[in-house]
Amino acid sequence: MIREILAHPDPRLRQVSRPVERFDDELRSLVDDMIDTMHDAEGIGLAAVQIGVHLRLAVMKVDENPLRIMINPEYEKLGEPMELDEGCLSVPGVREKTKSRVDRVHVRALDLEGQPYEFEANGLEAACVQHECDHIDGHLYVDCLSNVRRARVLKRYRRERERAAERETRD
């Protein structure tokens, strides 16, 4: 089932998520919905908080890498800082260049059975891990920007939102 993605400035995006403790049908069904919602929105990752569920959990599918289900994820930074064009399904319609991600991370997480597993991510997938873990702690990528860039991207975002709202009332 496709769920609604919360958009900035929804205060629910700022709440810190709690660890997953129960590995049951409800969790499996939530993960299914997150995967459907991520694919429908054409995103490369989605954290549970983005659909209003405050559990430490994200899904990710970046290029040819496998679909990752990251429960209670933690990561260690390995690589060098990189520049990338970052976007977020909760700040839709805009992108901004960021320099706060490293290009390689080591991830520890649990799978749907509650079993620990590890992997290394590089490039865009590494950036996505950092982006999703930020969501889990109530942060958005725009928080990492300089004041000037944040003001610029949020201004563009508000303008886009107003245009979208206008289109809604016209149709």
Residues taking part in catalysis: 132
The answer to whether residue 73 forms part of the interface with ligand GNR (CB under 6 A) is no
d(CA 5, CA 93): 13
Q: Which of residues 131-160 bind ligand GNR (CB under 6 A)?
A: 131-132, 135
> What distance in Å separates the CA atoms of residue 163 and residue 94, rounded to the nearest whole number?
13
Give yes or no for residue 56 binding ligand GNR (CB under 6 A): no
Query: Which tokens sit at 147?
Result: 């004041």
CB atoms under 10 Å from CB of 124, counted, come to 20
Other CB atoms closer than 10 Å to residue 147's CB: what's the count?
Answer: 7
- The distance of closest approach from Cβ of residue 26 to ligand GNR in the complex, given in angstroms and rounded to an integer, is 22
Q: How many CA atoms within 13 Å lie on the side-chain side of 3?
A: 20
Among 88, 107, 129, 145, the residue binding Ni ion under the rule CB under 5 A is 88
Segment interacting with Ni ion, rule: CB under 5 A, options 86-94, 107-115, 117-125, 151-159? 86-94
Structure tokens at 16: 């810190």
Contact between 70 and ligand GNR per CB under 6 A: no
Which residues are at the interface with ligand GNR (CB under 6 A)?
Answer: 43-47, 50, 84, 86-90, 127-128, 131-132, 135
